[in-house]
Amino acid sequence: MLNIHDVADYIIVRTDEASLKLTIPFLQKLLYYCQAWNLGLNREPLFDGKFIARVFGPVNYKIYDRFDGGLKWPDTLVFLSNIRKEFDFEIIPEKSRTLINEVLEEYGRFSDSQLTDIVRSEKPWQKARKGYGLSEKCGVEIDEELMRKQFSDSVLPINQINFYMRRNESDLCSALIKCAEDLEKEGVQIYYGWRICDLLKEAASNIKELKE
């Protein structure tokens, strides 16, 4: 298991290379999604570190304390100069780098406020915040088992599309529509922050128009 500070430093390097503006809240959310996807895909934590369901998203207190807690916290930018001197890029295994890079590629294109909306749409954050007002302070940890389930279930749409494609190889439109309908019945709505069912139906419509 990795050290959360090593993963944070790796993210700082990668976002700097991609010329992404990185604030502390944005870094916290990227770390959360790295942890969540590793739990979902590999069934184990990427690093040792829990997240609290704060108002604007997940917060890890080790990272919070590292960057001076709440001192100008929402607007504080993170730079290469914030990387620890002892950080060794090679300490991150290739498999972990691949996962982190994929998370950065997917979630790095959102703004911090958009990521806040995505987090709030997901069950782990909602469960931890149950009984709290939207702007009420909360110190409840986000359940890693719920994170694992949420992000292993998020792989479902791709697997299910493949299943319907095997059954409907001659009709991609029917496969997409059938998949969307069944996902809606199962309550699978959000995938990578998108409404997957709407996307499937839109794709089917576009394919149909091209054929015509």
pLDDT tens sequence across 76-89? 889 999 999 999 99
Tally Cβ neighbours within 10 Å of residue 181.
Answer: 13
Query: 8-17, 105-114, 149-158: lowest mean pLDDT where?
Result: 149-158
pLDDT at residue 33 greater than cutoff 80: yes
pLDDT at 125: 94
Here the tokens at position 195 are: 């409404």
Predicted TM-score (pTM) of the model is: 0.75
Gap between the Cα atoms of 110 and 193, Å rounded: 10
Gap between the Cα atoms of 126 and 113, Å rounded: 17
pLDDT at 40: 86
Gap between the Cα atoms of 48 and 7, Å rounded: 11
When pLDDT is cut at 50, 70 and 90, the band that residue 194 belongs to is: very low
When pLDDT is cut at 50, 70 and 90, the band that residue 169 belongs to is: very low
pLDDT at 59: 95
pLDDT at 97: 95
Strands (E) located in the chain: 52-54, 57-59, 190-191, 194-195
Query: 77-91, 144-158, 168-182: lowest mean pLDDT where?
Result: 168-182
